[in-house]
Amino acid sequence: MKFSGRITDMQQSPIRKLVPIAEAAKKRGKKVYHLNIGQPDVKTPEVFFDALKDFDKEVLAYSFSQGSPELLESFSSYYKSYGIDFDPSDILVTNGGSEALLFAMIAICDNGDEVLVPEPFYTNYNGFGNVAGINVVPITTEAEKGFALPPKEEIEKIINPKTKGILLSNPGNPTGAVYSKEQLNIVRDLAKENDLYIIADEVYREYIFDDFPYMSFAQFDDISDRVIIIDSISKRYSACGARIGSIASKNKDLIAQVLKLCQGRLCVPTIEQLGAAALAKVPKEYFEKTKEEYKQRRDIVYEALQEMPGVVCELPHGAFYIMAKLPVKNAEKFVVWMLEEFDIDGETVMFAPAEGFYATPGLGVDEIRMAYVLNQESLKKAMNILKLGLEAYPDKK
């Protein structure tokens, strides 16, 4: 029996594909510090769970395909706190940011069309492109330049009649990079001059450090008809398991088209929407506290990496990820070796090999992505294990 080309061509998640090896290590008695996945240990706000406890219905009914009115109002109010005027009718609730990304790509592209994406990028951008028959065309960025976009004329060279949009995350996953207003202007001008959509994945906007200014693509009035904002409560409120995301755009026709896809999957889970709507009550102090915590965790990881011979990385200014080039020939083999053959007092650490975050063959082979989502003491232990692991690893450069 044969499988479809779209599924066989789809890559495995570099974030999750080594999980069976990690689970096997745990069964052998090892403790594994998971820095491979963006699952924060920060507490989910209590108001989310309180809303679930207060649910008192005899029938668990469908919600609206576009999302519950309460949640849409909640999202609208949230955006207004950032000076972004999205009416509830401009927003669609999705099953996490992942569904929002897939729906946005399907809505703007036909089979064989192209979307430009700065690399390294969130690996599912490539996976969703495969599923939808869309070619992800990389805009290569470099750690040594802070993963900043290349000059406008360099990006223009890869735009052609099949190019339908530019997809980028800000702050960036996996890089932690935050785009300046000047870089956002490059994307804005390219979109206007070449009739492109901008799919802006902005799920980490709360977590920007070092007084870097934040600006959303939704704040550019002259491109409001071509901007699609992808969002999620997963990382903002440490509510990854709720699977609540959204698409927002001032382009009413686009929202109407995406609504067809929402109707096709009927609705997002009713109860999770109730909990998510209650998150509008979370005070700003929650974000101030969590942002400071993530900054301290970042500093622990970055400073430790700077002390490791042969490791190259740049200071990330947002999200909770850091990319690092290791003095090894193959980072995936190193991660597997750490899980299967190395430990310190029965403890080891797991990262995401970075090759899967690139579309250009050969890039990222010796790099890893780390998610600094564990408490500070655990991060210190994990960095010490990495240091000693690199010293002991037999297949170094």
- pLDDT for 235-270, tens place per residue? 999 999 999 999 999 999 999 999 999 999 999 999
**pLDDT tens track for 142-173:** 988 889 999 999 999 999 999 999 999 999 99
What's the chain's Rg over C-alpha atoms?
Answer: 21
SS3 at position 307: coil
Note the Cα 228 to chain centre separation in Å: 16
Nearest to 90 by CA among 219, 258, 217, 204: 258
Residue of higher predicted confidence among 304 and 144: 304
pLDDT of residue 180: 93
Residue labelled with tokens 């052609």: 160
Fold of 46-281: Aspartate Aminotransferase; domain 2 (3.40.640)
Which residues, including other chains, have CB under 8 Å from residue 359's CB and lie 6 or more apart? 117, 119, 121, 126, 136, 137, 138
137 CB neighbour count, 10 Å cutoff: 19
- Percentage of residues in the chain having pLDDT higher than 70: 99
Q: How many CA atoms lie within 13 A of 85 on its CB side?
A: 3
Hey, what are 395's tokens?
């297949």
Q: How far is CA 235 from CA 49, 129, 232, 288, 364, in A?
A: 16, 23, 7, 14, 25
- One fold for 5-42+285-392 and 46-281: no
With cut-offs at 50, 70 and 90, classify the pLDDT of residue 60.
very high
Mean pLDDT to the nearest integer, 112-116: 97
159: buried, middle or exposed (CB in 10 Å: 19+, 13-18, 0-12)? middle
pLDDT of residue 15: 65
Q: What is the pTM of this model?
A: 0.95
Contact in structure between 124 and 99 (CB atoms under 8 Å): no
**Measured distance CA(314)–CA(174) in Å, rounded:** 12
Which stretches within 92-241 are classed as H helix? 96-108, 124-132, 152-156, 181-194
Domain limits of the chain? Answer: 5-42+285-392, 46-281
Q: How far is CA 4 from CA 12, 128, 224, in A?
A: 15, 15, 37
295: buried, middle or exposed (CB in 10 Å: 19+, 13-18, 0-12)? middle
pLDDT reading at 329 higher than 70: yes
**Measured distance CA(374)–CA(261) in Å, rounded:** 36
Residue of higher predicted confidence among 93 and 16: 93
135: enclosing H helix or E strand: strand 135-140
Q: How many CA atoms lie within 13 A of 261 on its CB side?
A: 19
Q: How far is CA 153 from CA 60, 115, 189, in A?
A: 54, 17, 11
Fold of 5-42+285-392: Aspartate Aminotransferase, domain 1 (3.90.1150)
What's the mean pLDDT when you consider all of the chain? 95
Q: Which residues of 197-219 are buried (b: 16+ CB within 10 A; e: fewer)?
A: bbbbbbbbbbbbbeeeebbbbbe
**Measured distance CA(207)–CA(288) in Å, rounded:** 9
SS3 at position 255: helix
**pLDDT tens track for 26-46:** 999 999 999 999 989 999 999
pLDDT reading at 231 higher than 90: yes
pLDDT reading at 373 higher than 90: yes
pLDDT reading at 395 higher than 70: yes
Contact in structure between 364 and 120 (CB atoms under 8 Å): yes
142: buried, middle or exposed (CB in 10 Å: 19+, 13-18, 0-12)? exposed
Mean pLDDT to the nearest integer, 353-379: 95
Contact in structure between 30 and 346 (CB atoms under 8 Å): yes
**Measured distance CA(202)–CA(237) in Å, rounded:** 14
**Measured distance CA(64)–CA(93) in Å, rounded:** 9
Contact in structure between 183 and 216 (CB atoms under 8 Å): no
pLDDT reading at 14 higher than 70: no
pLDDT of residue 143: 85
**Measured distance CA(57)–CA(377) in Å, rounded:** 43
pLDDT reading at 300 higher than 80: yes
